[in-house]
Amino acid sequence: MKSIRVRLECDQVVEYKINGVESMPLLQNPDILLGRDDLTTLSYLHEPAVLSHLSFRFVKREAIYTYCGIVLVAINPYSNCSQLYGDDVYRGVGKQVRELDPHIYGVAEEAFFDLSQFDKDQSVIVSGESGAGKTVSAKFVMRYLASVASGPSRKPYGVAEAGVENRVLASNPIMEAIGNAKTIRNDNSSRFGKYIQINFNEHFAIAGAELKVYLLEKSRVVFQVRADNERNYHIFYQICASRSHPLLSDLNLAKMKCFIVGDWCSYYYTSQGDSGEVVGIDDAKDFLETVAAFDLLCIPAEVQKSIFRLFAGLLLFGNIGFVSKNDEYAEINVSSSEQFFL
């Protein structure tokens, strides 16, 4: 077996045994390329070099976005980065996107520019493992498109959008309430896939949108892993925290002795993960946002009540037990007061 001598960053020389080209040590990018905002400008693009470069940008530059050609690599910081998405962040709309720092808005701007200039359909694919931040990234793409497509001025997000654009965005809090949950890796993890098609008119203003969902994790409704401190879908905890809301008042939930504000642990379907309260999530406030989104989409109050009645019914069904009387017969084990609500 042959060996070579390698000089490390610390100026130490070590002997490295090799057995063919495959076992040769990977080369490091020169310091002059350190921190570049596009991975394709690096001399070496092997996995350690890419991870080291992304780590340097994230830790030293506090940059969560890095380009890799036409692809944007995003690192989930697991912290509030609202300063990255303020009104003044992308007032450079109309400039060459590559003149600006890597940003999710840049991807959306390039897609909208190609759509409006070349009249060709565009696709933005957001991919990554669980907890990578796909939901948030897709949300900001939609917000940016709703902003720039809302009028000829192409004002930045934050200024009131036209009705259609605002209704398109209203789908986000509803989808998050019903389809997102806390997992071991993400407090707001989407438990379904979605395909969003945004339609533009001849003036490249948003005319409407279509959303298709698939692969919903249905089993989460009845089971969550306690060891991982997971939660059921957000909507159940929103209802628990808002039982005095007018839309929930006729469900008689407030009269149930086990239905106390924030007492999610009284329900089997919301207590298995033993993590009903999550730092940074205000379920009562989020319920108001869910209702506001329904209102914005012109969903009648009676229909909303029916939707919430369905979720409340699921909570109650989760508390039903069965007592075996013999080999062929069992009966429901609930109190007389609980039978009234069933």
- Identify the pLDDT of residue 338: 56
How is residue 40 annotated by DSSP? G
Contacts of 338 (CB under 8 A, 6+ apart): 256, 316, 319
Token pair 């840049």: residue: 106
Structure confidence at residue 94 as a pLDDT band (50, 70, 90): low
CATH topology of domain 76-216: Kinesin (3.40.850)
| Whether residue 161 has pLDDT greater than 60 | no
- Half-sphere exposure for 85 (CA within 13 Å, toward CB): 18
Better-scored residue on pLDDT, 62 or 89: 62
As annotated, the binding site for ATP includes 128-135
**DSSP secondary structure string for all residues of 239-291:** HHTTTTSHHHHTTTGGGSTT--TT-GGGSHHHHTTS----TT--HHHHHHHHH
**Domain layout of the chain by residue ranges:** 1-61, 76-216, 232-342
d(CA 269, CA 41): 51
* Mean pLDDT across 174-196: 93
Angle at 307 between CA 303 and CA 308, to 5 degrees: 120
DSSP 26: P
Q: In the prediction, which pLDDT does 332 show?
A: 78
Which pLDDT tens digit goes with each residue over 288-306? 999 999 999 999 999 999 9
Q: pLDDT grade, residue 39 (50/70/90)?
A: very high
pLDDT grade, residue 9 (50/70/90)? confident
79 vs 176, more confident: 176
Say what the pLDDT of residue 160 is. Answer: 43
Look at residue 51 and tell me whether its pLDDT is greater than 80.
yes
* Cα angle 24-51-11, degrees, rounded to a multiple of 5: 55
Residue 287 or 131, more confident: 287
244-273: pLDDT as tens digits: 899 988 776 555 554 444 478 888 999 998
pLDDT, tens only, 309-337? 999 889 888 888 888 777 777 777 765 55
Binding site membership: which residues?
128-135
Given a cut of 60, is residue 195 above it in pLDDT? yes
Q: Are 222 and 270 in contact (CB under 8 A)?
A: no
Model confidence band, residue 95 (pLDDT cutoffs 50, 70, 90): low
Go through 113-129 and write b for each residue having 16 or more CB atoms within 10 A of its CB, e for each that does not. bebbeeeeebebebeee
Q: What is the pLDDT of residue 264?
A: 83
Q: Is-contact 156 93, C-beta < 8 A?
A: yes
Assign 239 a pLDDT band (cuts: 50, 70, 90).
Answer: very high
> Which has the higher per-residue pLDDT, 275 or 192?
192
